[in-house]
Every structure is written in C-alpha cells, then in structure tokens.
Amino acid sequence: MSKRFEQLLVPRPEGLYCPPGDFFIDPVRPVDRALITHGHADHARAGHHHVLATTQTLDIMAIRYGAEHAGQTQAAALGEDITIGDVALRFHPAGHVLGSAQIAVTWKGMKIVASGDYKPRPDPTCAPFEPVACDVFITEATFGLPVFRHPDAAAEVQRLLASVRRNPDRAHLIGAYSLGKAQRVIRLLRDGGYQAPIFIHGALKKLCDYYQQQGIDLGDLQPATVARGGKGDFAGAVVLGPPSAFGEPWVRRFPEPLISFASGWMQIRQRARQRGVELPLVISDHADWDELTATINTVAPEEVWVTHGREEALVRWCALNGRRARPLHMVGYEDENE
C-alpha cells in the first residue's frame, strides 16, 4: 500500500490521526482535537479538548454526555470549507443517522474521505448519503459479507404491522438503539400507516424529542416507563426500547410480549433465535454488501481502507475486482449501535 497517503491519515491506537492537521477522526479516547463523524457512542466519546462535528452531532453529544462533554466545540456545516493548518476539510452527509457526516481531508493534492458509518439508501430521518470522489476511501464493513443484503425497510415494517394486526392481545416490543434506529423505525411505522400512539422506553425519550425538534415528525409518542393500571393496558401496543431493556424487569408489565428487534443482524436466523427474537426486522443503518461494493465502485478511489467490521471479506472483494485495499484493524468500533 502506498505510504504516501499515510502522511495525511494514519491509524493510531486512539483513532485515525492526521499529522499535518494534528487531529484525530472519531478517537476512542480523549484527545486534544477530535473530528467526529456521528453521535454513536463508539465514534463520539466525551472528554476531548476540542471537537469539530456537525451541529446535530454536537447537539446529540450534549444530550448524551452533557453540555460539558468537550472543552470547546465547533460546528461544521455540510459542504462548508474548513481549514486546520494547511489541511482542508469538508463534511458530507453519510445517511447513517441524524447529523452523520463523512469527512473529506485534503492536503498537498491528496484527498481522503473518512466515511464513518454510512448508508446509501433513503432514510426519512437524515440527509442522504453523497458519494465523494477521492484518492482514498475509508469505509466501514459492519455488514461486509455477501450474506448481508438488507431487504426494503418499508416492507419489513409492513411485516411488523401485519403481526400487530394478527396478535391484538400481545404487546410488540421492538428493540431499537436509541440514536437513529428507534426514530427511523417510528418514522417508517408512520409512513406505513400506523397512527396510534407508540410507546417508548425512557431511554429513548430525549433523542426522540430532539428528532422532533429537528423537524422529523414521529407522531404521538407516550412513555412506556410508568407502571400503568392493569396488564391488559399494553395489549396490541407497539413499544420501542433499547434491546438491553428486554432483559430487565421493565418488560414484565407487558402482556404476552412479542419480542422483535430491528437490526441488520436479524438476517441471520440463528442470531435471532439465540436472542429469543420472535419477529426479526432486518432494518439496518449501515450499508449492506451490495451497497458497500457499489459505493466503492462509484467513488472509485485509488485505495480503499477498511476500518471496522468484516474487513477480510471486503478486502478480498476489492482484490477480486482489481482495487487496492487494506484493512486498518481499528479497535474500539463495535457494532453495538446496529
């Protein structure tokens, strides 16, 4: 692989480091200057001295970590030119969650795009992904295996609605991560014609409120946290909560709960079965295999760097298709937000 590009960005234990600009992208531990692609906890951590991110990502970090999460913050508008030293920067939408961005870094005629997590397909809750021509495209590989081909999310939501109609006596408990997935599922339910109140676990409230403030209409949301009168109260209800809550006493208030989980992992039946998921919904905020490979072809970079996920298979695909690629073996970016 070309050492030339490593003058501009190089993997370090803390994260991707830019020597000429002296900053990190999505560092996993506190640093002096951090550029953050999006608000998921494995990319956006608290405790940096200076943070540069989109306004929405900064807002989300403040909601999650408190206003004092960083010494100093600076908002980057999408498409705006920013410079740090003699490094030119530009944020482009990544289509992953609200506020998510790819970061293009240009220096001495080299351009590298760190895409963070991304999803090319339409999502009513965030700005659409935009392919950016570059010399090096840094891609995730969360679903970097050819078995991952996500079906149409709207059709998945229709399966959920069919199940709700079929089981009027049961509460549908949908596991969805609190940033992005939950709001997208709710928005898809509304688009799918479901107008009844949707009950949400307390852990989702702040971010749902924030999405609503940002103009994403999620309809009537009600808390599923307070204990209510009888058990029958939630019969036929649609309830969203973080998957971790499903092992907690919280779920006991629901009648005959039907456990569902909205995640790209749900494509693997054994995974769904092991987690006790009765209704797996294959809804992902990441690019699937076809989208990863199509994106690489569209961006057509000189080199592909693969950060996290199933790097090996994507690197293999690049080799088979005559593209230079290398795995970065970045540690600390887990799939917990899928």
Partner 1 sequence: MKRFADLLETLILTPSRNGKLRLMIDFFRSVPDPERGYALAALTRELDIPSVKPALLRQLVTTRIDEELFRLSYDYVGDLGETVALIWPDAADHPARSIPHGRNDMPSLTEVVTQLQAASRREGPALIEGWLDRLDPSGRYALTKLVTGGFRIGLSARLAKQALAGFGNVPVHEIEELWHGLDIPYESLFAWLEGFAEKPVSAALAPFRPVMLSHPLEEGDFAKLNPEDFVAEWKWDGIRVQASLDRGIKRLYSRTGDDISPAFPDLVDALAFEGTIDGELLIARPAGVGAEQSVTIGTFSDLQQRLNRKKLLPRHLEDHPAFLRVYDLLFHAGEDLRDLPFEARRSRLEMHAGDFDPTRFDLSPLIPFDSWEDLAALRAEPPLPIIEGVMIKRRQAPYLAGRPRGEWFKWKRDPFLIDAVLMYAQRGHGKRSGFYSDYTFGVWREEAGHRELVPVGKAYFGFTDEELKAIDKFVRNNTVERFGPVRSVRADATKGLVLEVAFEGLNRSTRHKSGLAMRFPRISRLRWDKPPAEADTLEALEVLLASDNGAD
Q: Applying CB under 8 A, which residues contact partner 1?
A: 121, 145-149, 151-152, 155, 173, 246-252, 254, 256-257, 259, 267-270, 272-280, 290-291, 293-294, 310, 312-313, 316-317, 320
CB of 132 to partner 1, least distance (A): 21
Query: Smaller CB distance to partner 1: residue 54 or 307?
Result: 307
Segment holding 144, helix H or strand E: none
CA distances from 231 to 45, 92, 134, 255 (A): 39, 47, 57, 6
What is the three-class DSSP state of 109? coil
CB of 337 to partner 1, least distance (A): 17
Q: Which residue has the tokens 């709207």?
A: 154
Segment holding 234, helix H or strand E: none
Specify burial of residue 193 (Cβ count, 10 A radius: 0-12, 13-18, 19+): exposed
CA distances from 259 to 39, 76, 233, 265 (A): 27, 39, 17, 15
Q: How many whole angstroms separate alpha carbon 326 and alpha carbon 71?
A: 35
CB of 251 to partner 1, least distance (A): 4
CB of 247 to partner 1, least distance (A): 5
CB of 309 to partner 1, least distance (A): 11
**143, 53, 150: which is closest to 94 by C-alpha?**
53
CA distances from 158 to 179, 189, 283 (A): 22, 8, 12
CB of 173 to partner 1, least distance (A): 8
Query: Smaller CB distance to partner 1: residue 261 or 333?
Result: 261
CB of 97 to partner 1, least distance (A): 21
Query: Smaller CB distance to partner 1: residue 71 or 276?
Result: 276
Written in H, E and C, the secondary structure of 110-140 is EEEEECCCCCCCCCCCCCCCCCCCCCEEEEE
Query: Smaller CB distance to partner 1: residue 10 or 154?
Result: 154
**163, 313, 337, 192: which is closest to 265 by C-alpha?**
337
CB of 254 to partner 1, least distance (A): 8
What helix, strand, coil percent values describe the chain, rounded to 5? 30, 25, 45
Query: Smaller CB distance to partner 1: residue 51 or 272?
Result: 272
Q: Which residue has the tokens 């000189």?
A: 302
Tokens standing for residue 170: 């049961």
Query: Smaller CB distance to partner 1: residue 112 or 258?
Result: 258
Q: How many whole angstroms separate alpha carbon 327 and alpha carbon 307?
A: 6
Query: Smaller CB distance to partner 1: residue 98 or 245?
Result: 245
